[in-house]
Amino acid sequence: MRIAVLALLWGSSFLWIKLALEGGLAPLHVTVVRCALGAAVLLVLARAARQRLPRGRRVWGHLAVAALFCNALPFLLFSIGEQTVDSGVAGVMNATTPLWSLGLGLLLGTERGLGPKRLAGLLLGFGGTLLIFAPWQQSGLASRGAVALLAAAVSYAVAFAYMARHLIGRGTPPLALSAAQLLMATGLTTLGLPASPHAESAPTLTGVLAVVVLGVFGTGLTFHLNSRLIADEGPTAAATVGYLLPVVSVALGALVLGEEIGVRVVGGMAVVLVGVGLTRTGLTRTGLTRAGLTRAGRGRPVAHPSKPEPHLPSSERTAALSTLLSARTTSGVRSTRSQPTAATPATCQGDSM
């Protein structure tokens, strides 16, 4: 039941973005309000848990970079992309983040031991993306908005790599670190408000309600729900939610917004999900075990879940971390039901797979 609720909350984020945009809000306004409300929710949760915000300048410097690539930039890019691309397609593009993480590792030379299955998954995933946008057809979805969506997924991949190196295992309580990052993202996006074009009219009630739901439920509250899911049922349950997100986004886009579900889009989504699954084959069977990410909350504590072993391939470490939490923030996971660990980055709504 909780898996279904989380999948609905996260998968509906793209619906709320589209409704907010259609309700008269500009992409930057959606991003600022989303970050601010998400930060407010996490601040309340952190205070209830008696967790204090980090104080060191170095930590805040790293949080600024993480907030840029994991929150401010991708949130803005998804809003820009959905001005011209359906919300369902945006949800599918969000699911390509693990592919970009693996590709980034190969590009930087930090990815080693890429087996045939993972290579096939990488090629399949990108092939599915091409199938969805079909740039060779006039009726294809290739556009500036499509580029923005893909850039958002790449931004998440960059953020995961950075956070895995600079924000993991530093001893800061997870809720506090998540709240701090969204506070920083709020500040960064607010700086751009003077340059944002003014709306010709006030936003509609639907637009306002949509961005409120997006910030409170889709960006803030889901972190807490997901962390509890991981603590009780383990990271495999969180990974399952990730595979449901694009399905939920496509279904809601069709049912609520009347978006057309073409055969090409459905086929491309299936190919992308199969590709992502293949790229995570090694992680599913060995990566989580070697990283110490065993099933939590059932008498088997997770050994240092927030700091996978450094000898793992970079994309495998990133995937192990992003499997744990996949909200629109960074977040943490409990090693047992009562003892919190150091913060672990989530997918910031990106790689929830």
Q: What is the pLDDT of residues 318-332, one digit of tens each?
A: 334 444 433 333 333
pLDDT above 90 (res 125): no
Q: How far apart are CA 55 and CA 43, in angstroms?
A: 15
Classified as helix, coil or strand, 344 is: strand
Residue with tokens 């809601």: 252
323-339 residues labelled b (16+ CB within 10 A) or e (exposed): bbbbbbbbbbbbbeeee
Write out the H or E segment, with its range, that includes residue 35: helix 27-48
Answer yes or no: is 188 within a domain: yes
Confidence of residue 105 (pLDDT cuts 50, 70, 90): confident
194-206 residues labelled b (16+ CB within 10 A) or e (exposed): eeeeeeeeebeee
Can you tell me the mean pLDDT for 307-312? 39
Closest C-alpha to 304, from 282, 265, 285, 332: 332
Q: How far apart are CA 286 and CA 73, in angstroms?
A: 33
Confidence of residue 277 (pLDDT cuts 50, 70, 90): confident
The average confidence (pLDDT) of the chain is: 78
Percent of the chain with pLDDT over 70: 73
Q: What is the pLDDT of residue 149?
A: 94
Count CB-CB contacts under 10 A for residue 258.
Answer: 8
Answer yes or no: is 246 within a domain: yes
Can you tell me the mean pLDDT for 119-133? 86
Answer yes or no: is 327 within a domain: yes
DSSP assignment, residue 194?
A: G
Q: What is the pLDDT of residue 282?
A: 61
Answer yes or no: is 351 within a domain: no
Q: How far apart are CA 302 and CA 314, in angstroms?
A: 20
Residue 267 corresponds to which tokens in the numbers above?
Answer: 């086929």
Confidence of residue 106 (pLDDT cuts 50, 70, 90): confident
Answer yes or no: is 198 within a domain: no
Which residue did the predictor score with more confidence, 307 or 280? Answer: 280
Q: What is the pLDDT of residue 325?
A: 37
- Three-state SS sequence of 285-335: HHHHHHCCCCCCCCCCCCCCCCCCCCCCCHHHHHHHHHHHCCCCCCEEEEC
Can you tell me the mean pLDDT for 28-35? 96
Answer yes or no: is 238 within a domain: yes
Q: What is the pLDDT of residue 340?
A: 32
Answer yes or no: is 199 within a domain: no
- Which residue range(s) make up the domain with 14? 2-192+204-344
Report the range of poorest mean pLDDT among 134-148, 153-167, 200-214.
134-148
Can you tell me the mean pLDDT for 31-35? 97
Contact status, residue 303 vs residue 294, Cβ threshold 8 Å = yes
Closest C-alpha to 10, from 288, 337, 261, 242: 242
Contact status, residue 317 vs residue 308, Cβ threshold 8 Å = yes
Answer yes or no: is 243 within a domain: yes
**pTM (2 d.p.):** 0.80
Confidence of residue 244 (pLDDT cuts 50, 70, 90): confident
The count of structural domains within the chain is: 1
Q: How far apart are CA 98 and CA 116, in angstroms?
A: 17
pLDDT above 70 (res 255): yes
Q: What is the pLDDT of residues 150-169, one digit of tens each?
A: 999 999 999 988 988 888 76
Which residue did the predictor score with more confidence, 187 or 7? Answer: 187
Confidence of residue 95 (pLDDT cuts 50, 70, 90): confident
pLDDT above 90 (res 342): no
